[in-house]
Every structure is written in C-alpha cells, then in structure tokens.
Amino acid sequence: MELTITGANAMTNPVLHIWDWRVSLYLFLGGLSAGLAVMSSLMHLQKKEDRVPAGETVFMVAPWLVPVILGIGMFFIFLDLDRKLNVFWFYLTIQPLSPMSWGSWGLLLFTPICLLFAYGTMPEQRREWLYRLPFMDDLAKWIKPRIQLIALANAAMGVFIGIYTGVLLSAFVARPLWNTAILPVLFLCSAMSAGAALMIVLAKDQCVKLFYTKVDIGLIIAEMIIIPLFFYGQYVSSESQRLSIMPFFSLSHEYLWYTASLLFIGVVFPLALVMKLAEIKECHEGLSSSDILKMNLSAGLVLLGSLVIRLTFVYAGQLSKLV
Amino acid sequence: MPKYAMVIDQRRCIGCMACIVACKAENNVPPDQFRTRVLEKTEGQFPNLRTELRSELCNHCDNPPCVYNCPTRASYKRRIDGLVLLDKKRCVGCKACVAACPYDARYIDHNKGFADKCTFCDHRIKEGKEPACVATCIGKSRIFGDLNDPKSPVRLALKGHHAELPLKSAGTEPRVYYIRRFGTE
C-alpha cells in the first residue's frame, strides 16, 4: 500500500469526489420547478377577472409539472445519499445554520402548496372524477376563493427554493468558488429564466408565448449581467477566490470542460436573447410557424444553459479550496 | 473541563508514516481512505527548493463548518471537551460536512455509508491513553494534551515555540497547531 501521499488525487483531495452529476441535476430540476411555480402563478396574481386565457392548457399542465419535476430532482439527491435509509433524520432535526436542513423543510412545505395550486387550477370538468372522494370536493370548494392567495404562496415558495439551490453551495467557506452571496442570486435568476423558457415551450396560445418571451428577455439580460459580475468579483477578491475561477480561464486539457462551459454559456445566452428580441411582436400580429420554432429553440437554449451552469459550478467549486 | 488539542512539530517528523498505519489499525479505516495523512510539501523555485512533511487530520475546530452544515446534527461538537464527533446513526451520507471542511479532513466510508474522520481516538482518551498516532510517533512530532492544563505537553510545546494555525483566515479556530520546520514565506 502506498502511504506517502504527495500529489493531488482522490486520496489527498477528497474534494474530487464529493458531489457529482446527481447533485447538479437536483439543483437544476429544483430550480426549474421553482421557476415554473413562479411563472405559472404569475397569471393568477393579476387583479382582473379573466386572469387565464381561455383554452390555454399550459396553466393547467405547468402547475402539475412543478411537483413532478421537483420529485425527479429529489430522487436524484436521494440517489446521492450514502445512507438512504436514514433520510428520515432530515425531518427529525431543525438545524438553522444548515441550508440543507432548511431546504429539506422548505421542500416539505413547497410540495403540498404546489399540489394545492395545481389542483385549484384544474378545470372543473377535468376534476369531476376526483369528486368520488368526498374530501376532494370540499377541498376544491375551499381552494376556489383562495386561489390567489395560494398562487402567491406558490410563487413565494418558488422564489425560496430558487434561492435555496444557490445558498446550498454558497454556505461553504471551504469552497471559494461557491462562497459568494452573488451565487444564490445567479441561481435564482437562472431558475426563473428556465421556468419562463419551459412555459414558452409548453404554451399554445401565441399571446402567452409572447408574454413569457418578454419575461425571459429581462431574466436573460439579468443573467448576462450577473455572470460577468460573479467572475469579476472573484478575480478582485482574495487569492483563494481568484484561483477558484482559474479552471474557467485555463486552456489546459485538464480544465478544458470548464473553459468550454464558460464559452458555451457566453454564446448560448446572447444567442437566445438575440433570437428572442427578433421574436417580439404584438400578439395580434400573429406568429408564423418559423417564429414559433425559433421561440422554442431559444427556450431550449436557455434550459440547456441553465443545466450547464449547475453542472459546471458544482464540479468547479469542488476543485477550489482555501489557500 | 479538558480542552484537547494537538501540536504537530514538523521539525521532528521523519516521514515514517507509522501514524497513518497506527490510525488505520486502531480505527479500522478502509484501505483507500485516511483519517490522517502526511503530505510532502515542496516550496520555492528550482534550485532553491525545500521540502517539509506535514501531518494533517481533523482540527476539531472551535468554530466548525462541518457541524454548522450538517442537516441532521450527526456532526456535533461535544460540550465537555470540545471534540468534533459524529453520531453515525444520524448520518445520511449527504456529504455536506465533507464539502464544508476547509481541511479536507472528512471522507465518506463507502463500505458503511457514513461520514468519518479523526476523533483524536476518543475511545483511547477515555481510557487515559493518547491517540494512536501520538503514541506511535517515534520522533515525538505529534504532541497531544489538554490546553487547560498548564503542565500538559501541548501547553509546554506551545509555550516554548511559535506555532501556526492552519488556514487561520477561515475563522474556524482549529485545535491542531503546527510548529513549522521553516518559517512562513
């Protein structure tokens, strides 16, 4: 057995083996569900009577997708746990200083709220079969006058989960790449943008697609401001933080993945933005099939960019350490 | 109440690695994982190079990020002596403590699924013995004792030498002190 440990490997640097793609996917899907919750609640927060366009199914589908996507994300984090049977300890403990603790309680609160909202947004005729269970009828009657309040709670929880996915990483003093207050803001912005992008893909109504395209433009611009600020902030900070971003700017083969990711992010968001700006029209002008294709394509680019951000930051953060 | 601490006198380390072997044997550490390690650290620019051996282990910090980040309170700081320990039955293997430790002192025991790390051989301390790595160190590079006892070996070592704390700027307040072979550059 080799006992003299001199180099950087998994033995001397266990950081190389802490969290992998499962955590990245959890953060991405958690963020996506949070963004979708906020975006699908937006229409219900308006004061007017006809809040949701008639015949648009996205406002029924998206709220149901929130718990589904969240559930898939939670499945991936569950896969990452090394002692899966001990998972119940998350819910027997409150650790105010641990983001993972308040995240697990937050997810426990978010799930019933998003389910209530999804049930409340189902059209009457679609949920009739559920009335065979007497309490479902009562529940529907209870939700109806409170739907705006539930939409507000759903959006608030969406914002909470969006921020939490960033705080989970930024709370580690040991990992200088993550240990910055701007990371939760970036992750929140990226989550909201991904939620808007998914709404664009799912929506059939042109006015709804255009509405979310305009929302997404604002969010992409915000992301394009936050990402350079993040790198600038790291570069002008302590030595550990300056070194933590070096994998992104090193052209060596060892860190090629990080440089490529940064280039990809640097291309994909401006490209999506340009495509979206070209799509902006008034909704009565109508959209051609090629407009809709471009809309869906740019939304796909935003989703892909969001995923790449999570993958890159999770892996690169583990290479960084205090010096 | 005792306040256990360790002093690593780097000038006395000969790199025999007996501390690693003793730790592994005492604590049943898996073959490819370590509670303590000895690093060879080379500094300077050729031809003006210098190498020193550096023993690393859990620092039992007074401000422990691993404890703060543990979502299930599996990692805790024991009040009576300040040792950072792990309640294995509460550990979910989420690896938050591994990511939180600036010293990379923790690992996940993949055979058992929980996080693990140096305990200063808590079971030996209870019997009035020194940690296994300290007892076996032939160069007396590892010194262990109670900081609250003026006659303890750690207090005496710290009294007579300038000692450094690892990554002091992180604010973790470690309890492992280093007497370096060479001064800080």
Of the two residues A167 and A140, the one the predictor is more confident about is A167
Give the mean pLDDT of chain A. Answer: 89
If interface means Cβ-Cβ distance under 8 Å, which residues of chain A face chain B? 1, 3-6, 11-15, 18-19, 80-84, 86-87, 89-90, 92-93, 95, 97-101, 104, 171-175, 238, 318, 321-322
pLDDT in tens, B144-180: 999 999 999 999 999 988 899 999 989 999 999 999 8
Q: Is the pLDDT of residue A227 over 90?
A: yes
Answer whether B59's CB lies under 8 Å from B175's CB. yes
The CATH architecture of the domain made up of B4-179 is 2-Layer Sandwich (3.30)
Q: Can you give the pLDDT at residue B154?
A: 95
Q: Is the pLDDT of residue B75 over 90?
A: yes
Please report the residues numbered 113 through 132 in chain B whose beta carbons come closer than 8 angstroms to any beta carbon of chain A. Answer: 113-114
**pTM confidence score:** 0.91
Q: Can you give the pLDDT at residue A1?
A: 40
A-chain residues near B93 (CB < 8 A): 81-84, 86
Q: Can you give the pLDDT at residue B149?
A: 95
Domain-by-domain residue ranges, chain B?
4-179
Of A1, A87, A173, the CB nearest to B102: A173
Rounded Cα–Cα distance for residues B179 and B185 (Å) = 14
pLDDT in tens, B100-136: 999 989 998 888 889 999 999 999 999 999 999 999 9
A-chain residues near B34 (CB < 8 A): 5, 11
Give B28: exposed, middle or buried? Use CB within 10 Å, 0-12, 13-18, 19+: exposed
Q: Can you give the pLDDT at residue A17?
A: 64
User: Is the omega angle on the peptide bond into residue A247 within 30 degrees of 0, that is, cis?
Assistant: no
Q: A272: which 2 tokens? A: 């999506």
Q: Is the pLDDT of residue A9 over 70?
A: no
A-chain residues near B98 (CB < 8 A): 14-15, 18
B-chain residues near A171 (CB < 8 A): 69, 100
Please report the residues numbered 125 through 164 in chain B whose beta carbons come closer than 8 angstroms to any beta carbon of chain A. Answer: none
The whole-number average pLDDT for the span A88-113 is 95
Q: Nearest residue on chain B to A100, judged by CA atoms? A: B71
Q: Is the pLDDT of residue B61 over 80?
A: yes
B-chain residues near A92 (CB < 8 A): 72
Lowest mean pLDDT: which of A64-78, A273-287, B60-74? A273-287
Q: Can you give the pLDDT at residue A189?
A: 96
Q: CA end-to-end span of chain A, whole Å?
A: 29
pLDDT in tens, A17-76: 689 999 999 999 999 999 999 999 998 887 766 667 767 788 889 999 999 999 999 999
3-class SS of residue B44: strand
Q: Can you give the pLDDT at residue A253?
A: 86
Q: Is the pLDDT of residue A221 over 70?
A: yes
Rounded Cα–Cα distance for residues A305 and A316 (Å) = 16
Q: Can you give the pLDDT at residue B6?
A: 97
Q: Can you give the pLDDT at residue B97?
A: 95
Answer whether A170's CB lies under 8 Å from A7's CB. no
Q: Can you give the pLDDT at residue A13?
A: 56
Q: Is the pLDDT of residue A161 over 60?
A: yes
- Give the residue among A25, A99, A108, A38 at the shortest CA–CA distance from A66: A38
Rounded Cα–Cα distance for residues A121 and A85 (Å) = 35
A-chain residues near B90 (CB < 8 A): 86, 89, 93
Q: Can you give the pLDDT at residue A185?
A: 97
DSSP for B6-36, please give it.
EEEEGGG-----HHHHHHHHHHT--TT--SS
pLDDT in tens, B21-59: 999 999 999 888 889 999 888 888 888 888 889 899 999
Q: Can you give the pLDDT at residue B131?
A: 97
- Best mutation target, B35, B94, B107, B118, to test chain A (most A CBs within 10 A): B94
Work out the pLDDT band at A163, boundaries 50, 70, 90: very high
Q: Can you give the pLDDT at residue B181?
A: 81
Rounded Cα–Cα distance for residues B77 and B95 (Å) = 18
- Supply the ipTM of this predicted assembly: 0.90
Q: Is the pLDDT of residue A296 over 50?
A: yes
Q: Can you give the pLDDT at residue A323?
A: 85
Cβ pair A86:B39 closer than 8 A: no
Of the two residues A9 and B116, the one the predictor is more confident about is B116
- Best mutation target, B14, B54, B69, to test chain A (most A CBs within 10 A): B69
Q: What is the DSSP letter of A173?
A: T
Q: Nearest residue on chain B to A320, judged by CA atoms? A: B102
